[in-house]
Chain A
Amino acid sequence: MKRIYMDNNATTAVRPEVMEAMLPFYKEHFGNPSSVHWAGRETGAALEAAREKVANLINCTPAEIVFTSCGSEGDNLAIKGVADVLRERGNHIITTAVEHPAVLSTCEYLSKQGFEVTYLPVDRYGMLDVAALEAAITEKTILISVMWANNETGTLFPIEQIGAVARKHKICFHTDAVQAIGRVPVDVQAAQVDLLAISGHKIGAPKGVGALYVRKGTRLTPLIHGGHQERNRRAGTHNLPGIVGLGVACELAASDLAGTAQRLRKLRDRLEQGLLAIPESQINGHPTERLPNTLNISFNYIEGEAVLLFMDMQGIAASSGSACMSDSFGQSHVIEAMGVDPMMANSAIRFGLGYDNTDADVDQVLEILPAIVKKLRDMSPFYHERDVTKATA
């Protein structure tokens, strides 16, 4: 059975070039980059080279990059770090209802510490109203945290417009760009972003490494206190192999961003058109303002986990934000915020295409999935009742 991986919004395989670049830093180049001797000097140079590659991808200076352990750490450092520094000035944070848990849970934590958080709603495409965001700003607002691209639907927020609003009101602007990096152009100058979180394992670097862009002049209280690493913004011995890998992954992403996006968009669009041929299916997400690799689709009358299990048994890995997932009850907060009908929401399946996917993969999913939907609908009381209603109508 051919195995097809279409869950690249969850994580990606390490790219071969990344792996190759990392290996020497587990073996001969093992020095601590903070050491002054030869072993430290050679890894210190690699650390700074990686920093420059990450900076190039998002158009900032290397000094503005803080290496972290993951996207969640970046989000935590940005939000808690700014909240702590600016708490004398105000206690209001603006975010959205559809953020990643790394942002939502951090805001919930801060709200228990006396901060007020506004969660902006989205429309049925998962899109944010920038005018509503501006209207939510008060004298107490110290931070706007709005994601670049949604992890479940791929919907792209108008980051440049939000950045302009934040700048106009002189409010610090953080964005979780974990899903956007390597998939769409990300330019922190054009977007007027102050803080931007990156995760390595979404772009072909390993798990356990990430970065936070911190605009020069933006003050943060560190999450991890200790040594002087990362200009006192993040203590802890560097995960050098991971950082080297992140640098190479960013370099690869920058070298063919448009080409990769175009290739994945073509595959995604073909998958989307093919699956929309199934009656009573719908896309969850914005029709045009969406990541090129992401497809979130619902099939009425059936439940998403059952679809995933059947796909899994035929070698296809995708994901679902459905009601009955093993570790979380209640439907996806993202799909719910979009006002999607609950039964449609329960069948939402997310495909995240990646570097390795091919036309043959799309063909195989298009061959297998319609039959799964049919099998589950034949089993569903809702589907049969619908037929009865139609017949008597």
Chain B
Amino acid sequence: MYSDKVIDHFTNPRNVGEIENADGVGEKVSSSCGDRMKVFLKVEDGVIQDIKFQTYGCGAAIASSSMMSELVIGKTLQEALDLTNDQVADALGGLPAPKLHCSNLAADALHDAIKNFQATTA
């Protein structure tokens, strides 16, 4: 039921972990299934230098987290804020319909981390 890309990102998730003294930390909990994602950012000159994540959830949630992290590393905060949940799902080659909500965690958690970073630096 999952694409090869989903399986790849689920089996070998990129950027799992935590950044000590992260510049921004954010998270998102899915209201429909309780999945939870936490994002840690290292930001320099408005660019995401490093990103790590921790995810509690199913295969789709973990793969979405991993894909999101790959999509935004090296991107500006504005580019990262423009990333949508649909773009994450598309980059994974799509997700089965009942699993689409699982991918919604990734961009939301990222945006939360960016907003927290901006709030502390403002």
Contacts and interface: CB of A to CB of B under 8 A. Distances in A.
Contact of B32 (A322, A329, A343, A384): A329
Contacts of B94: none
B112 to A, nearest CB: 13
Most buried by B among A323, A329, A382, A384: A323
Interface string A303-345: 1011001100100000000111011010000000000001100
Nearest to B32: A329
Contact of A346 (B11, B34, B60): B34
Given A306-B62, A380-B54, A324 B102 contact: yes
A306 B57 contact: yes
B36 interface: yes
A302 interface: yes
Interface in B40-79: 54-62
Contacts of A346: 34
Interface size class of A (residues with CB under 8 A): 20 to 34
Interface in B67-122: 96, 98-99, 102
A67 interface: no
B13 to A, nearest CB: 7
Interface in B2-48: 2, 7, 10-11, 13, 16, 18, 27, 32-38
B104 to A, nearest CB: 13
A381 to B, nearest CB: 4
A301 interface: yes
B36 A306 contact: no
A384 B18 CA distance: 10
A377 to B, nearest CB: 10
A303 B57 contact: yes
A379 B55 contact: yes
A327 B54 contact: no
Contacts of B1: 326
A84 interface: no
Most buried by A among B1, B37, B60: B60
Contacts of A379: 13, 16, 54-56, 62
B54 A324 contact: no
B89 to A, nearest CB: 15
A327 B59 contact: no
A99 to B, nearest CB: 24
A310 B57 CA distance: 13
Contacts of A309: 2, 10, 58-59
A303 B60 CA distance: 11
Contacts of B96: 326
B58 A305 contact: yes
A337 B102 CA distance: 25
Most buried by B among A302, A324, A382: A324
Most buried by A among B16, B33, B60, B61: B33
Nearest to B102: A324
A378 interface: yes
Given A329-B33, A379-B62, A303 B56 contact: yes
Interface in A347-383: 378-382
B59 to A, nearest CB: 4
5 contacts: A309-B59, A326-B99, A380-B54, A381-B36, A382-B56
Q: Which 10 A-B pairs have the closest CB atoms?
A: A324-B58, A305-B58, A381-B54, A381-B38, A309-B59, A323-B33, A380-B56, A324-B33, A303-B57, A379-B16
Given A323-B35, A382-B56, A384-B54, 15 more contacts: A303-B35, A306-B59, A306-B62, A309-B2, A309-B58, A324-B60, A324-B102, A326-B1, A326-B98, A346-B34, A379-B13, A379-B55, A380-B55, A381-B36, A381-B38
